[in-house]
Structure 1
């Protein structure tokens, strides 16, 4: 059984847990070095990539729980020997968790959560809400922003929501390396928010819904009203996959893939090295927009 909820909830509910960690990866592997999984007698949290490697690790961990063992190291070739064809080789460390180990794992998880890239969906219409539904399942901190409380109220996704009379302020105080997807109900507001995001010069992604014609109009508007602001790095149209399907959920799927490709690229990782992740201005909001 794969346990739902947070790692803290899982570790609090399980008395005996084995931490499985990828300590070395050589060649091709389903997950990177440092990946963790936690195995209890009847539940799991996390994954080291699935397949026969994970099956082997789970069995070894549960053997340890049954026998009372404290530590074990495994060196596993990802080839025909275990029925997996990655071709690489991984080393695993399996260790029984003490209370201090559980605390340390929870702290690591919290730091990882804090370090998630921010994705600002500017507009809570049909496509904006469909994007929120996508991003709630991805390793990002999604913030859905709109001037209209009635549209925000329709969002059922587990993301942060903010009703803002001045939505560009959310862009100004976003952390470096954030992604901005602009799709409001008003073209003038789209232009204002898009140029605000581009002016930062530190966004991992800036996209605006619309056609090639709308892009040209924005370029002309920016030249006239924003001191010649370049739109070279703007994605517009967004999610340009070649599909003609205009259903919000389909558009959102392509846009989410586009955003995640940028956020996980080597270029984005390099740009964020040493960057200050604290907001530029303002204060923290928890999920569903409550100030903290």
Structure 2
């Protein structure tokens, strides 16, 4: 689910009027991409379109739209802002921002879009900025659409009267299966809770998981206390990222073999030392796993150059490496998995007593 969409649905359901700000077009160097969004209410601004003077000016315009929209239902406005000359930002480019005043009357399409995102259905949202104030339209995106896209059609030049904003909105959450609820596993779960992913957090030890009042804020994390944790591997979708951080080396080996036999994962990282990796390489090869697949196992986990072994630092390093793998896969979705991750091993072993 898009976080801004969840927030928008909540605000409208409670009767609040808001302005949805969208970066409709970018020209040159800009702090955020087309499609980035911010929600502005009378009291606050949530999410970001880039910060700085650009965002300050956007909030100011949004509050004008919020006020003027009390007399004009579904008020919409486009504004082109040059970052260098008018706002003093060093990016030097320009953005066209789209402002849409929304209230409870817009809840139907917002709820429909939220339902489509929950079902992971790529959707095209169309918004007219002409004088007729046509309703927002939702439709299926083009077949095969996997990446978000935002286009502003405004005829010859910047013509708000004929402008049409069309954006493809896709679910960008990637699946993660995290094994291990020890210190590092818990730290990584907290980091992943802030990222656009859906996490299945697995451990055989139910008592090892944090209490409910701690995990309430981990809205994208599902806890799975399972005596057969390897079931989570079989049930995972293609393109899942697997992270193994259990307390049991024998269990780690079983999980590693099962993951590597799939070979359709986007990332497989495991906590441990270089010695552990060498031992696992020999044992996995003896079990018939192709060396090219074994090379895709990232162990020790974490990006190069970070030597601190505290759980929180390991978790951040592992999350960064996982994001690198996801971004790489999205940039080349048809690429055949190779052993490129074997060259990204960190220089520092991770002690097993931190798990």
Match of 2:143 in 1: none
2:110 to 105, 109, 113: 105
2:286 to 224, 231, 236: 224
- Residue-by-residue CA offset, 1:71-118 (whole Å, 9 max, x unaligned): 211111221420211122211111222545343334445555653111
The alpha-carbon deviation at position 65 of structure 1 amounts to 1.6
Match of 1:130 in 2: 187
TM-score normalised by structure 1 residue count? 0.83
Match of 1:247 in 2: 310
The alpha-carbon deviation at position 15 of structure 1 amounts to 2.7
Q: What SS class does the counterpart of residue 206 from structure 1 fall into? A: strand
Change (3 A) 1:184 1:150: same
Contact between 1:177 and 1:272, CA under 8 Å: does it hold in 2?
no
Contact between 1:118 and 1:179, CA under 8 Å: does it hold in 2?
yes
Aligned equivalents of 1:32, 1:109: Cα separation in 2: 22
Q: Do structure 1's residue 149 and structure 2's residue 206 form an aligned pair?
A: yes
Match of 2:244 in 1: 182
Change (3 A) 1:30 1:255: same
Aligned equivalents of 2:194, 2:334: Cα separation in 1: 23
TM-score normalised by structure 2 residue count? 0.69
* Aligned-pair Cα RMSD in Å: 2.4
Change (3 A) 1:109 1:180: same
Aligned equivalents of 1:88, 1:112: Cα separation in 2: 32
The alpha-carbon deviation at position 219 of structure 1 amounts to 1.2
Aligned equivalents of 1:112, 1:50: Cα separation in 2: 27
Contact between 2:257 and 2:289, CA under 8 Å: does it hold in 1?
no
Aligned equivalents of 1:29, 1:136: Cα separation in 2: 27
Aligned equivalents of 1:218, 1:146: Cα separation in 2: 21
Match of 1:12 in 2: 13
The alpha-carbon deviation at position 144 of structure 1 amounts to 1.2
Flag the structure with more relative contact order, 1 or 2, with Cα contacts below 8 A and sequence separation at least 6.
Answer: 1
- Residue-by-residue CA offset, 1:5-55 (whole Å, 9 max, x unaligned): 833222323432111111112222222211222212123332212111111
Q: Do structure 1's residue 38 and structure 2's residue 39 form an aligned pair?
A: yes
Match of 2:277 in 1: 215
1:197 to 239, 243, 259: 259
Change (3 A) 1:241 1:208: same
Change (3 A) 1:179 1:92: same
Q: How many residues align?
A: 269
Q: Which runs of 5+ in 2 are unaligned?
A: 121-170, 336-355
Change (3 A) 1:197 1:7: farther
Q: Which has the larger radius of gyration?
A: 2
Match of 2:101 in 1: 96
Change (3 A) 1:240 1:34: closer
Change (3 A) 1:143 1:135: same
- Residue-by-residue CA offset, 1:228-265 (whole Å, 9 max, x unaligned): 35211121110143333211111111111111222233
Contact between 2:12 and 2:103, CA under 8 Å: does it hold in 1?
no
